Amino acid sequence: MTSEATAGVLPAPDAAVADPAALLAAWRPGEGTWFSGPHGGLLARGAARRLDDPDDAGRVLGETGGIVVGALPYDPAEPAALVVPEEITWTSAPARPVGRGVDDGSDLAHWHARPVPDPARYEAMVAEALERMRSGGLEKVVLSRALDLVRDTEVDRPAMLRELAARTLAGYVFAVDLPAGSSLVGASPELLVSRRDGEVVANPLAGSAARRSDPDDDEAAGAALLASAKDRHEHALVVQEVAAALGAECDTLDVPAEPSLIRTDALWHLSTTIRGRSSVSSLDLARALHPTPAVGGVPREAARRAIRELEPYSRGFYTGMVGWMDASGDGEWVVALRCGEVGGCSARLYAGAGIVPGSVPSAELAETTTKLETMLAAL
């Protein structure tokens, strides 16, 4: 039951189709947004309008036509980074330039790296979350940590994006201009929601295991994940909430009873593809779902509080969403994971892990380390 590609919408049918690798190579920080998925993507350039309130997106698109594209932060009270671009070029195939090869690993020799918080503190955060679960009121929470990287020379963001695309076998690759002049760059495996011609797809992920270099060990790691009661519970909590939130907005909804496996360069994940039909816009669907327990927790408020009290920073755009929507409401929004904010000579990378009863602090720390590998490899 392994699938290489997560579901996603295709570019608009009347779109111009360009050479994906050439288009990817044309992305420049400060000039626009790159967003691509298993079935294609887009390069958006210029900003006819900037929107920091997603409530304005539908009305503005009614006036301007075209699309909105960009990112929404984890905290809905913080400003979004959405634009109506001046120019959009679509591709109907994934951009997979030839990279340095997937086994190079990361070379951090030129970087000064500082984990935030330090690893021991992250384990203590996980222990505190488990304590809150024992005393009741919290079932699941996703706790994250960051890695701050600084070096002497400016980061080559276009090269980083090309490297990420080269390493991403399935899933989504993006680079979004942020107001401070930095970029949100990442490679997320998780489709929050897409809508095309009324067809809705959501693909929540939760439950993870590190990939192995030996093919037999790797298959065994995937099979063990699929059989793990703890991970299936962690996954089911997410599917239940996504199905309930989408159910309220959809006319029909199909929720598979069993998860399947997907793989990224570094990880196996439990995955469920939920399908439905809705006249609600893709951005409104995405905002109704956010934050799913894949990045927040259960119950939503108790998890939000635990995240606010235990994580030592504001998440910014990490675990927010990235994507686009057209004037009809069709579009595609992915969870901002396996990503970082990159600007000048520095980068802040993020990774989190879902904590449920039975989680082990050292194992959750190791999972976040594995999740950071996707971005580290692109540096």
Ligand X SMILES: C=C(O[C@@H]1C=C(C(=O)O)C=C[C@H]1O)C(=O)O
The residue (of 288 and 363) whose beta carbon lies closer to ligand X is: 363
Give yes or no for a cis peptide into 291 (omega within 30° of 0).
yes
Start-end of H helices in the chain: 20-25, 57-64, 119-134, 157-167, 215-227, 229-247, 282-289, 300-310, 361-378
Residue 190 sits in the site that holds ligand X (CB under 6 A): yes
We find the least distance from the C-beta atom of residue 17 to ligand X, in angstroms, to be 31
Residue 269 sits in the site that holds ligand X (CB under 6 A): yes
Judged by CB under 6 A, which of 72, 125, 126, 142 binds ligand X?
142
Judged by CB under 6 A, which of 37, 207, 329, 361 binds ligand X?
207
Residue 51 sits in the site that holds ligand X (CB under 6 A): no
φ, ψ at 99 (rounded to 5°): -95, -160
We find the least distance from the C-beta atom of residue 4 to ligand X, in angstroms, to be 17
Provide the annotated active-site residues. Answer: 140, 190
Residue 208 sits in the site that holds ligand X (CB under 6 A): yes
Residue 351 sits in the site that holds ligand X (CB under 6 A): yes
The residue (of 285 and 351) whose beta carbon lies closer to ligand X is: 351
Q: How many helices (H) and strands (E) does the chain have?
A: 9, 23
The radius of gyration of the chain from alpha carbons, rounded to an integer in Å, stands at 19
Residues in Cβ contact with 80 at an 8 Å cutoff, skipping those fewer than 6 apart:
51, 52, 53, 54, 70, 71, 72, 73
Judged by CB under 6 A, which of 23, 83, 205, 325 binds ligand X?
205
Residue span binding ligand X (CB under 6 A) among the ranges 215-223, 306-314, 324-332, 350-358: 350-358
Residue span binding ligand X (CB under 6 A) among the ranges 21-29, 113-121, 125-133, 346-354: 346-354
Q: Which letter, b or e, does each residue of 199-225 get, where b requires 16 or more Cβ atoms within 10 Å of its Cβ?
A: ebbbbbbbbbbbbeeeeeebeebbeeb
Residue 353 sits in the site that holds ligand X (CB under 6 A): yes
Interface size with ligand X, residues (CB under 6 A): 17
β-partners of residue 277 are 199, 252
We find the least distance from the C-beta atom of residue 270 to ligand X, in angstroms, to be 8
Residue 354 sits in the site that holds ligand X (CB under 6 A): yes
User: Is the Cβ–Cβ distance between 140 and 356 less than 8 Å?
Assistant: yes
We find the least distance from the C-beta atom of residue 267 to ligand X, in angstroms, to be 8
Pick out residues in 282-301 that bind ligand X (CB under 6 A).
294-295
The residue (of 329 and 352) whose beta carbon lies closer to ligand X is: 352
Q: Tokens standing for 238?
A: 């997410």
Residues in Cβ contact with 312 at an 8 Å cutoff, skipping those fewer than 6 apart:
116, 117, 121
Separation CA 352–CA 337 (nearest Å): 9
The residue (of 189 and 329) whose beta carbon lies closer to ligand X is: 189
> What number of residues does the chain have?
379
The residue (of 28 and 212) whose beta carbon lies closer to ligand X is: 212
Among 112, 107, 114, 106, CA closest to 151: 112
Residue 352 sits in the site that holds ligand X (CB under 6 A): yes
Which residue reads 């990442």 in tokens?
186
Judged by CB under 6 A, which of 157, 195, 290, 371 binds ligand X?
371
Residue span binding ligand X (CB under 6 A) among the ranges 107-115, 122-130, 206-214, 341-349: 206-214
* End-to-end Cα, the chain, rounded Å: 32
| Interface map 219-258 toward ligand X (x if CB under 6 A) | ----------------------------------------
Residue 125 sits in the site that holds ligand X (CB under 6 A): no
We find the least distance from the C-beta atom of residue 355 to ligand X, in angstroms, to be 8
Residue 115 sits in the site that holds ligand X (CB under 6 A): no
Residue 186 sits in the site that holds ligand X (CB under 6 A): no
Among 2, 3, 12, 1, CA closest to 282: 12
Residues in Cβ contact with 96 at an 8 Å cutoff, skipping those fewer than 6 apart:
20, 21, 165, 166, 168
Residue 168 sits in the site that holds ligand X (CB under 6 A): no
Q: Give residues in contact with ligand X (CB under 6 A).
A: 142, 144, 190, 205-208, 269, 294-295, 337-338, 351-354, 371
